[in-house]
Amino acid sequence: MKSYLSVSCAVAATVVSVGLMTAGASAAEYPFKPIELIVPYAAGGGTDLVARAFADAAKKHLPQSIGVVNKTGGAGAVGLSEIMAARPDGYKIGVGTVEITMLPHMGVARFSVDDFTPIARLNAEPSAITVNADAPWKTVEEFLAHAKANPGKIRIGNSGTGAIWHLAAEALQDKAGVKFNHIPYDGANPAVTALLGNHIEAVTVSPAEVVNHVSAGKLRILAVMADKRATNFPDVPTLKEKNIDLAVYTWRGIVVPKKTPQNVVDTLRLAAKNTADEQAFRDSLAKMNLTHAYADGPEFRAVMEKDNAFFKDLMTKLGMAK
Amino acid sequence: MYELDMLLKGFQTLLSQPFALLLSVVGVAVGIVIGALPGLTATMGVAILLPFTFGMDPLSGLLMICGVFFGGIYGGSVTAILLKIPGTPAAAATAMDGFELTKKGQAGIALGTATFSSFLGGTFSVLVLIFLAPVLASFALEFSASESFALAVFGLSIIASIAGKSVIKGLIAGFLGLLIATIGLDPMGGFPRFTGGYTELFSVPFIPVMIGLFAAAEAFKAMEDPAVRNGAAAMLSRIIPPWSTFRRILGTVVRSSGLGTVIGMIPGAGADIAAFVAYNEAKRFSKTPENYGKGELAAVAACESGANGCTGGALLTMLTLGIPGDAVTAVMLGALTLQGLQPGPLLFREHADLVFTLFAGMLVCYVLMLVIGLSSLRVMGRILQMPKSVLTPVILALCIVGTYAINNSMFDIAIMLAAGVVGYFMQKWDFPASPVVLALIMGPMAEANFRRALSLSNGSYDFLYNRPITAILLIIAGFTLLFPLVRGFMRRSKAAKGATRDAALAPNPAGGAE
């Protein structure tokens, strides 16, 4: 009985104090309660791991903790819609991925790139042309020459139609004036498996997704679709060096809904910058073979807008846009 | 024997690491609970625990994850047998005969058999992983889209053998499942089909449908008569099966473990497929196939050893090639990478000590699973003694929480409840639920891989007959489909000799035998 009384006292006290806190919310510094970080992909995947590493490292730079919530489905559309529709108070933020600039053009999303305010980009991975180590092509020129001579014969595996690595292969086909046979798989991993089994000729997934097999001597990266060479693979040329002006990246960063107040955005930007600089965060990314690619809000916005225009153009050309 | 030497050394190292052993106990226990709860699968359990392993040394972290993996696959069987709530898709196969045994008052022995079979299947597959990994590794790479398609067709043909009393009703249920499976993003074109504009329907909401069809439907049915207790049937008299019974099912266990291990190695095929295939093959080789579906102990043994046999197979390709054999190992691949271990051929060369200590730990995990499982069965069996007026709401609450947990989505709960209502009427009218689940697993796999195979061959249908594995699997599938027909024909001609027997058989398919 006595314990029951003390429990109810404690409950009453908590209710009152929570009430007071909410009353003082407008005056109090952001953030005064834990922040929810929406991840539009499943737990355990690359995006999820980046988000969790970020949430973990952000503890030192924010007075409140960040909790990761996975909202999966619709190739990311479900989670991204949820971020867009969240109350713009900074307590529900999200991990934005390159799909923000792709899904709207396919007519499967209720948001567009303008519905988000970018906070910071944390990671970016280029597309890479990878072939089996037994394949006859040693350089990207040989590969493209063969593709040109045999239109539609080279089978390129991707992580799903309309997904980033499919569009990378389409863009390459467009720029290099060749014709591939695109084979969609249920994610990057099955595509790499098919390449290992010699069922397809190449994949266009990121270097991080093939690094194990490359170091084991089973696969060979011919080129990366990046602005500069990857630090893990200094010997692999970029397409730009080969006079093909193409760079396709997938990226992951923190975004908030459009109408989020400026002071909240500024607080988050500062915290994200300090977190991204944190050695623990860099180490976590490095362990996952992911590239640390911090970009502040405005710079991140420029990337988003550039990609948005690029994919809109490409998807219209491919007849995928709606 | 290099492997044996290394394994013994692994055991030695393991003994000097009490923390790792403790964590494997934790992992197995957590895994069993997660597996038993509807909605929470082994995949999710591993994903949830993954962040906790970031700060641990590789051995402890990986052993905990392995524990969750093994326990999660096994845990599904407990609720499947006791309450007809498959905690995991694999346990949907176990539920078919397991729950019938519970109704007959043999819950104890069914649970005991499930535990032993899981242990044996799992241990067998880990031993294969340890001793045969390099030999078998390349097998997984032989599997291209056409082989996966043939495997899925074979899987679909199993509907004929799990249809229960009426093949027609089983087929209707199977086609319902196939229809549901067409909802979602087109696997090749990427455009939405039958989604009604809901982004939530982009991927087939498979687990909510399964929970609804089995667990919620069962709960709705229990509401008809809330006062009833399970009474005498609830007593768990004996858990460890007598040796004479066990010897009878040993052959089934060995065959199913082998099948499970092979299926585990195939990319994209996991414990769910293994359990159904093991069931089918057990029935095919059984001397009393008519008992399947009515409470056959060997069926429970087959499903469980098949499902757990998958674990070693899936780990085999993941560790040796860096190719995840199923969804769980795909998440585990991330865990390994995070620990600075790159799965692939180099892993065994560069980290041989760690790998073999891990193998030793996996064997320990399975022993732990056996011990924890057997010792907790009596407590878990108590569930049956709860009055239904308490149990039913608890089951429904668990269904809702479990469904929400998959995607944090209210939409899924609506799907689950709708499936529950459908499942309730299916039960009333004697339509089996497992063909729906099987079609949901196999349908998308068959469709995507058929179209992918066509794409790979540039539109030629040659892959159907000029690839040996594909052709063999398709032949087995045809055989499986026709087998019940042939058997029915033979039985009929036999029955024609004795007209009285014919009369006794005839009313059986029509009337519900509840």
For residue B513, is it within any domain?
no
- Nearest CB to A73 within list B51, B189, B407: B407
Confidence of residue A251 (pLDDT cuts 50, 70, 90): very high
Q: Is the predicted pLDDT of residue A123 greater than 90, yes or no?
A: yes
According to the model, what pLDDT value does residue A140 have?
Answer: 95
CA distance B142 to chain A (A): 6
Q: Is B200 in contact with A185 (Cβ distance < 8 A)?
A: no
B385 within 8 A of B107, measured Cβ to Cβ:
no
Radius of gyration of chain B (CA): 22
Percent of chain B with pLDDT over 70: 94
Predicted pLDDT at A10: 52
Q: Facing residues of A183 across strands?
A: A157
pLDDT in tens, B146-183: 999 999 999 999 988 888 778 889 999 999 999 999 99
Q: How near does any CA of chain A get to the CA of B204, in Å?
A: 10
- What is the pLDDT, as a whole number, of residue B504? 44
Give the contacts of A251 (CB within 8 A, at least 6 positions apart): A97, A98, A121, A123, A124, A125, A293, A303
Instruction: Mark yes or no for CB contact A42/B47 under 8 Å.
Output: yes
- Convert B415-475 into a string of H (helix), E (strand) and C (coil): HHHHHHHHHHHHHHCCCCCHHHHHHHHHHHHHHHHHHHHHHHCCCCCCHHHHCHHHHHHHH
Nearest to B261 by CA among B129, B152, B70, B130: B129
To the nearest whole percent, how much of chain A has pLDDT over 90?
67
Which member of A56, A74, A184 has the closest CB to residue B200?
A74
Q: Which residue of B has its CA nearest to A41?
A: B407
3-state secondary structure A242-297: HCCCCCCEEEEEEEEECCCCHHHHHHHHHHHHHHHHCHHHHHHHHHCCCCEEEEEH
> With contacts defined as CB-CB under 8 Å, which chain A residues touch B141?
193, 196-198
B15: number of Cβ within 10 Å: 12
Subunit contact A73:B142, Cβ cutoff 8 A: no
Longest dimension (CA), chain B: 72
Q: What are phi and psi of B284, to 5 degrees?
A: -60, -40
- For residue A229 the two structure tokens come to 């060479």
Q: Which chain A positions have a beta carbon within 8 Å of B338's beta carbon?
A: 49, 284, 287-288
Instruction: Judge whether residue A136 has pLDDT over 70.
Output: yes
| pLDDT value of residue B379 | 85
Checking if the pLDDT of A22 tops 60, the result is no
Does residue B116 lie within any of the structural domains?
Answer: yes
A145, A157, A183, A249, B410 from A140: Cα distances, Å? 8, 17, 20, 19, 48
User: Whose CA is closest to B323, among A190, A187, A188, A206?
Assistant: A190
Most A CBs within 10 Å: which of B452, B457, B470, as the mutation test of the A interface?
A: B452
Mean pLDDT of chain A: 88
Residue B72 is assigned to a structural domain of this protein: yes
* Min Cα separation A211/chain B (Å): 9
Residues of chain A with Cβ-Cβ distance to B331 below 8 Å are: 43-44
Confidence of residue B105 (pLDDT cuts 50, 70, 90): confident
Q: Is the pLDDT of residue A1 over 70?
A: no
Taking the C-alpha atoms of residue B447 and residue B152, their distance in angstroms, rounded to an integer, is 9
pLDDT at site B136: 83
User: Which residue would you say has higher pLDDT here, B108 or B1?
Assistant: B108
Contacts of A52 in chain B (CB under 8 A): 51
Confidence label for B44 from pLDDT (cuts 50, 70 and 90) = confident
Q: What is the mean pLDDT of residues B273-299?
A: 90
The rounded distance, in Å, linking the Cα atoms of B421 and A307 is 46
Q: Which of A214-223, A261-270, B481-490 has the lowest mean pLDDT?
A: B481-490
Q: Is A321 exposed, middle or buried (0-12, 13-18, 19+ CB in 10 A)?
A: middle
What number is the average pLDDT over the span B76-97? 89
| Structural domain includes residue B492 | no
Nearest to B344 among A194, A197, A213 (CB): A213
What pLDDT does B188 receive?
Answer: 85
Mean local confidence (pLDDT), A295-302: 95
Instruction: Give the residue from A50, A154, A193 with the most B CB atoms within 10 Å of its CB, the best one to mutate.
Output: A193
Cβ count near A123 (within 10 Å): 26
**Do B329 and B318 contact (CB within 8 A), yes or no?**
yes
Among A1-15, B68-82, B177-191, B359-373, where is mean pLDDT lowest? A1-15
Does A206 contact B at CB distance below 8 Å?
A: no
Query: Cis peptide leading into A31, omega within 30 of 0?
Result: yes
Q: pLDDT at position B455, please? A: 93
More confident residue, A276 or A5: A276
| CA–CA distance, B124 with B117 (Å, rounded to integer) | 10
Contact A44 B142 (CB under 8 A): no
Comparing CB atoms, the residue among B203, B322, B456 nearest residue A212 is B322
Q: What is the pLDDT of residue A20?
A: 45
**pLDDT confidence bin for A268, thresholds 50/70/90:** very high
CA–CA distances in Å: residue A228 to residues A231, A232, A294, B299, B444:
9, 12, 16, 58, 40
pLDDT 10s digits, B329-371? 888 887 887 787 888 777 888 888 999 999 999 999 999 999 9
- The reply to whether B510 falls in a domain is no
Has residue B512 got a pLDDT over 50? no
Q: Do B346 and A216 touch (CB under 8 A)?
A: yes
List chain B residues with CB under 8 Å of A84.
none
For residue B502, name the pLDDT band (cuts at 50, 70, 90). Answer: very low
Question: Which pLDDT score is estimated for B506?
Answer: 44
What domains appear along chain A, each with residue ranges and CATH number? 36-124+250-318 (3.40.190.150), 126-242 (3.40.190.10)
Residue B79 pLDDT > 80: yes
CA distance B215 to A94: 34
How far B104 CA sits from the closest chain A CA (Å)? 41
Residue B322 and residue B434: Cα distance in Å, rounded? 33
Range of the domain at B212: 2-478
Q: Number of CB pairs < 8 Å for A and B?
A: 135
Mean pLDDT value across residues B8-16: 93
A72 CB near a chain B CB, below 8 Å? yes
Contact B142 A197 (CB under 8 A): yes
pLDDT for residue B510: 39
Is there a contact between A215 and B452 if contact means CB atoms under 8 Å apart? no
Pick from A43, A72, A81: CB nearest B48: A43
Q: Which residues of B touch A189 (CB under 8 A)?
A: 323-324, 330, 333
Say how many domains are in chain B. 1
How many Å apart are CA B211 and CA B407, to the nearest integer?
Answer: 14
Residue B319 CA to residue B355 CA, distance in Å, equals 9
Which of B50, B57, B317, B323 would best serve as a mutation to test chain A binding (most A beta carbons within 10 A)?
B323
Indicate whether B265 pLDDT > 70. yes
Q: What is the pLDDT of residue A4?
A: 53
Q: Is A106 helix (H, G, I), strand (E, B) or coil?
A: helix
Q: What is the mean pLDDT of residues B452-471?
A: 92
- Distance, in Å, from the CA atom of B86 to the CA atom of A103, rounded to the nearest integer, reads 36
B86-119 burial, b at 16+ Cβ within 10 Å, e below that, comes to bbbbbbbbbbbbbbbbbeebbbbbbbbbbbbbbb
CB B205 within 8 A of CB B257: no
Chain A residue numbers with beta carbons less than 8 Å from the beta carbon of B458 are 152, 181
Residue with the larger pLDDT of the pair B254 and A321: B254
Q: Strand, helix or coil at B343?
A: coil
Residue B485 lies inside a defined structural domain of this protein: no
> Is the pLDDT score of A294 beyond 90?
yes
pLDDT surpasses 90 at A312: yes
Question: What CA–CA distance (Å, rounded) separates B346 from B365?
Answer: 25
Q: What per-residue string of b and e applies to B369-403 under the rule 16 or more CB within 10 Å gives b?
A: bbebbbebbeebbebbeeebeebbeebbebbbebb
Instruction: Give chain A's count of helices (H) and strands (E).
Output: 10, 10
What is the pLDDT, as a whole number, of residue A11?
Answer: 52
H helices, E strands: number in chain B: 25, 2
pLDDT of A23? 41
Interface predicted TM-score (ipTM) over 0.90? no
- Tell me if B223 is assigned to some domain: yes
Instruction: Please state the rounded mean pLDDT for residues B277-303.
Output: 91
Instruction: State residue B119 phi and psi, 5-degree precision.
Output: -60, -50
User: CB contact, 8 Å: A287 with chain B?
Assistant: yes
B203 to chain A: which residues are within 8 Å by CB?
73-74
pLDDT tens digit string along A58-68? 999 999 999 98
Contacts of A198 in chain B (CB under 8 A): 141
Does the structure show a pLDDT above 50 at B245?
yes
Is B135 a member of any domain? Answer: yes
How do residues A238-249 score in pLDDT, each as one tens digit? 999 999 999 999
Position A29 pLDDT exceeds 90: no
